[in-house]
Chains A and B, each alone.
Chain A
Amino acid sequence: MHSNLLRICFLFLLCAPFSWAASSNSADTHEFLLSNGLKLIVREDHRAPTVAHMVWYRAGSMDEVNGRTGVAHVLEHMMFKGTHQVKSGEFSRLVAAVGGRENAFTSRDYTAYFQQVEKSKLDEVIRLEADRMSNLNFDDAEFLKEIQVVMEERRLRTEDNPSSLLNESLMATAYMSSPYRHPVVGWMNDLQNMKASDARDWYRNWYAPNNATVVISGDVDPKQILKVVEKYYGAIHRQVLPERKPQTEPIQKGIKQVQIKAPADSAQLAMAWKVPPLQPGKLDDPEPYALELLTAVLDGYDNARLNRVLVKQEKVVNDVGVAYDMISRGPELFLISVSMAKGKTVAQAQASIRKALDGLKQKGILESELKRIKVRILSDQIYKRDSIFGQAMEIGTTEMAGFSWKDIDTMLEKMQTITPEQVQAVAQKYLVDTGLTIAVLDPQSRKSIASKEGK
């Protein structure tokens, strides 16, 4: 009785909202290439009089070299420390004065800066952002203060955070040669030895219009905005970028394990398998889509397989998470992480995870499970349009990984064609021990300082 109704819904969902979402992407989005190599992408969204302005540099921690890990992120901090025209801290004051929200973030693949403003203030933030693309000028004293701030950031987010420590060790163990083995924030010792000149070198090497993509979403007229972008960004000279070595990760030939001792109450376990990301120009490859769907079949909703079996039925873990990012510049991992339930061991959790995966590999998944996930993907296409910032983010991350924003719709269409057999096939092919890295957090009780001093 229930299922008939469901089937009708699926048909509707699969057709109606999807074609709507797909057609609007290309109509509302405009791409321009400036003569200095800067790419501009404008997404029109006229629901409210606001705009998101982002500049994305294709330079992230994966472009760093030994001894200088963290420099991409340190430079991100220094970008607020003044140009020839604008004094240190002034950038933020000027953005604040026009009512703007701003920040920046660094990842393995890129560094991005953004402001959100009421639309009449867009020219002002474009002017400021273009200025610091080529005129950055900070003194050594500013650097010495800011590197302390960055070390506090590392203490806050990594040193005192056992899950981050676990993840850091997992990455450093899973990868031998890929620069993905280094944390984005950098190793503490590299931060302690970093010089202002390291940050300046980084800026000189990578901050150029031909290594940048500007994404503007919101209530704008693309032709008019092109003129403003030409005026401010267009004057900056193209430059020769450093050679990027491929640093391809060698094929893993057996299981790897690492253990971390850190203050925590429960043990944590992370299992990560080497899997392929989607390659630009190879959008027909079904495997990355199948892996993305596998992620959701395992962990995409409250009754997804791992949550149902491990948390609710077997009660062997307290929480479970599954992650895979189809879009990235570097290699990819398929990651399952869990924290133990009270009284359960890491070995028990690992056995349960393996049992669940073996079941999936042998028996496959249900058509109904996959449909459920596909419906979720389609409705998310509509929900994501509620945020103009979210739309700019999606365009930027896609472009930085070497794809075009135009590929987003193709990827979504391909995703809808994947079969249960294809999902089963990637599980069989990739979730095997030769490409597996296991990281375990061994919890240590916190020693209060009082007891350390024997008082």
Chain B
Amino acid sequence: MNTFQKSIVVCLLTFGYFAAAHAILPIERLDSFKGSKGYLVQTKALPMVDIEVSIDAGARFDPSGKGGLADMAAGLMNYGVRGDQGILSEAQIADEIADLGANIGLSVGGERAILRIRSLSRKDLQDRAVKLAAAMLSSPTYETKIVEREKQRTITNLLEAETKPEFALERRFAKSVYGDYPLGNNPTVKSIAAVSAKDLIQFHQQFYRSDRMIVSIVGDVDRAQANEIVQTLLQKIPQSGNPIAKLPELQRSPVEPLAQREIQIPFDSQQAHIAMGMTAVTRSNPDYFPLLVGNYILGGGGFVSRLMSEVREKRGLAYSVSSYFAPGKDTGIFKAGLQTKNDQAVLALEVMSSTIAKFIADGPSPAELLAAKSNLVNGYPLRIDNNRKLLDNVSSIAWNDLPLDTMEVWTQQVEAVTLEQVRAAFQKYLAMDRMKIVVLGAKNK
């Protein structure tokens, strides 16, 4: 224990040092273009650029009965577009991306769809990559033949995923926590089968508008070039469109008797998979930092968290156990989970529950708080030490409407967290009698 305390003192003394020695790269706000927002961090060391377009068109906008639509609308953008010189087939798009040595990736989360480009910053290559991405964003063809093929592939993948314990658990947990909120409606074979090319075209028209887009750029480009990239990307996209119906509010997980909160799913895997959690906070919540620091102590801090210590180190019950807050722009949840062989499921759930309950009731110790701050503050440079990580940060700041100096003041905000704030925040947002519990595995008495 002695060495441990000594090293913490050393860490605290050096807190101020690197913030001063290494200025954090500034985020520049780009010119507003067609109602979109654009942000840039210039890094000149490598001849490359990373570009992200966030579109407010996530899975939460799936219409009822058509779960999977948002995902396919984005996922099929590289399977045929109407470009300047006519139609580009999926093969031509793939060849062009490869020829440029570029990467263009598409993904869809609950809140937003994301298109990412990584390209060499040499102007001719970069221009072509951006032009191609612009065509994907504005003019996907959603050709019926390809839509049908991809629907079938998605259904096949879904049927496969349903045989996997981690996937089955995740779906059931999402249903429990999100309830009637759209993210509780997981895609099913039926809902994917119901999606038509017309639905995709309509969804795209409705949601892929420049006033729902944010462009974040990190790399070897200057401000003028960055503005040009934004303009090229959004040139052909309509600025606005029909009003979009407001989503329902995500209702806080209610107080319920255990029998109504806990679900057992029989599953003949060797391990039981267990999840526990409830609705929580958004990223812009003023209690974000007390919860971040607190969760590091509870279940976020790699090998040194309380959950890791109680479940794995002391009892050897699981290989992995953790907890996290997933704060989004409009909704957020807390979740903890582990996997253990079936005959230990009851014990492991008990240990996990009592560890979380105790933490909510008592909060961390002063030594734990100090250790958490020490890790988060000293480790902050590791969160921003390359282009990809910088892009993740800029993108989160832009999407969540956070102040542009968020990276600069991050460590100060961690340092300012007090014991009382952590305890109060956990008690305010989490409660054991609201926690949804899903246990998937062989039943044991």
B-contacting residues of A (Cβ < 8 Å)? Answer: 6, 9-10, 12-13, 16-17, 20, 47-50, 80, 86, 88-90, 92-94, 96-103, 116-118, 120-121, 124, 144-153, 155-156, 159-162, 263-266, 300-303, 308, 311-312, 315, 318-319, 339, 341-342, 372-373, 375-376, 378-380, 382-383, 385-388, 443, 446-450, 452
Contact = CB atoms under 8 A, between A and B. Distances in A.
Nearest to B21: A49
B388 A449 contact: no
7 closest A-B pairs by CB: A99-B378, A379-B101, A99-B379, A303-B94, A148-B316, A48-B385, A302-B94
Contacts of A102: 302-303
A378 B371 CA distance: 43
A444 to B, nearest CB: 9
Interface of B: 3-4, 7-8, 11, 14, 17-18, 21-22, 43, 45-48, 78, 90-91, 93-95, 97-103, 118, 120, 122, 124-125, 149, 152-153, 155-157, 159-160, 162-165, 266-271, 301-304, 309, 312-320, 339-341, 371, 374-382, 384-388, 442-443
A160 B269 contact: yes
A6 B128 CA distance: 11
B303 A98 contact: no
A376 B101 contact: yes
B385 A92 contact: no
B118 to A, nearest CB: 6
Contacts of B387: 386
Contacts of A300: 98
Contact of B101 (A13, A88, A149, A341): A13
A387 B14 contact: no
A448 B164 CA distance: 13
A263 B268 contact: yes
Contacts of B155: 342
A278 B209 CA distance: 51
A401 B245 CA distance: 59
A263 B125 CA distance: 46
Contacts of B124: 9, 12
Contacts of B313: 88-89, 145
B32 to A, nearest CB: 29
Contact of A155 (B47, B341, B388): B341
Contact of A312 (B46, B98, B149, B388): B149
Contact of A93 (B22, B266, B371): B371
Contacts of A380: 101
Per DSSP, are chain A's interface residues mostly helix, strand or loop, or mixed? helix
Nearest to A80: B303
B270 A99 contact: no
A152 B302 contact: no
A90 B317 contact: no
A92 B302 contact: yes
Given A89-B303, A388-B385, 15 more contacts: A86-B3, A97-B374, A97-B375, A120-B17, A147-B316, A152-B318, A152-B341, A301-B94, A303-B94, A315-B152, A342-B152, A342-B156, A380-B101, A387-B388, A449-B267
B11 A97 contact: yes
B3 A94 contact: yes
Contacts of B314: 145
Contact of A118 (B95, B160, B378): B378
B54 to A, nearest CB: 21
B160 A264 contact: yes
Contact of A450 (B48, B118, B266, B312): B266
B376 A302 contact: no
A92 B303 contact: yes
Given A9-B124, A312-B90, A160 B270 contact: yes
23 contacts: A9-B125, A13-B101, A16-B122, A48-B386, A94-B7, A96-B301, A96-B375, A97-B8, A99-B378, A145-B313, A150-B319, A160-B270, A263-B163, A302-B93, A318-B157, A339-B156, A375-B100, A375-B101, A380-B101, A388-B386, A447-B268, A449-B442, A449-B443
A318 B153 contact: yes
Q: Name, among B78, B304, B387, the residue most crowded by chain A CB atoms within 10 Å (CB to CB).
A: B304
Contact of A372 (B95, B153, B156, B302): B95
Contacts of A144: 316
A90 B386 CA distance: 30
A101 B101 contact: no
B240 to A, nearest CB: 33
A316 to B, nearest CB: 12
Contacts of B442: 449
B304 A308 contact: no
B268 A448 contact: yes
Nearest to A103: B302
Given A152-B271, A152-B319, A264-B160, A382 B94 contact: no
B134 to A, nearest CB: 18
B153 A17 contact: no
Q: Name, among A156, A161, A318, the residue most crowded by chain B CB atoms within 10 Å (CB to CB).
A: A156
Contacts of A89: 303-304, 309, 313
Nearest to A154: B319
A375 B152 CA distance: 33
B315 A145 contact: yes
B268 A303 contact: no
A379 B120 contact: yes
Contacts of A315: 149, 152
A386 B392 CA distance: 14
B257 to A, nearest CB: 23
A152 B384 contact: no
Contacts of B95: 301, 303, 372
A419 B31 CA distance: 48
Q: Name, among B164, B381, B442, the residue most crowded by chain A CB atoms within 10 Å (CB to CB).
A: B381
A156 B319 contact: yes
Contact of B98 (A50, A264, A301, A308): A301
A382 B386 contact: no
Contacts of A50: 381-382, 385
B120 A17 contact: yes
